[in-house]
Amino acid sequence: MQTLFVKSDSQFQCINITSQIQKIVKDSAVKDGLITLFVPHTTAAITINEGADPSVVHDLLYELDKVIPLRDNYQHLEGNSAAHIKSSLVGCSQTVLIENGSLVLGTWQAVFFCEFDGPRNRKVFVKIIGK
């Protein structure tokens, strides 16, 4: 298992980590298999979505904020309940196929670390299974 370190610089942010994940795959010398990405934080997440147009990430964060507002009648004392809910909805892990030493992603797809309670220093655990 490897650890990818991610530094967010705003409260809400989606950071494209595709190139870092692809480098881990290349360095592993695994040609065919699976890579699992796991975020060990309760106010962050990981997703796969369009990476070509930055407005997609903007729209994703915008809509999440409309559905799960920062302030509501939450009871959690830390004041970051919205971040916990967003993390649960988006999810803490993704698994991607590896074929011929590369991530198998659609033409426009990218892997994003989603920060909902930043800025912070975060981790993504990476596990490759293959041959």
pLDDT per residue over 49-71, tens digit each?
A: 999 999 999 999 999 999 999 99
CATH number at residue 52: 2.60.120.460
Structural domain including 31 reads: 2-130
Residues of the chain above pLDDT 70, percent: 100
Q: Residues 6 or more apart from 47 whose CB is under 8 A from it?
A: 14, 60, 90, 91, 94, 111, 112, 114
In which band, very low, low, confident or very high, does the pLDDT at 131 lie, cut at 50, 70 and 90?
A: confident
Residues of the chain above pLDDT 90, percent: 97
Number of domains in the chain: 1
pTM over 0.85: yes
Name the 3-class secondary structure at 21.
helix
Name the 3-class secondary structure at 47.
strand
- How confident is the model over 27-56, as a mean pLDDT? 97
- Confidence (pLDDT) at 77: 86
- How confident is the model over 20-49, as a mean pLDDT? 98
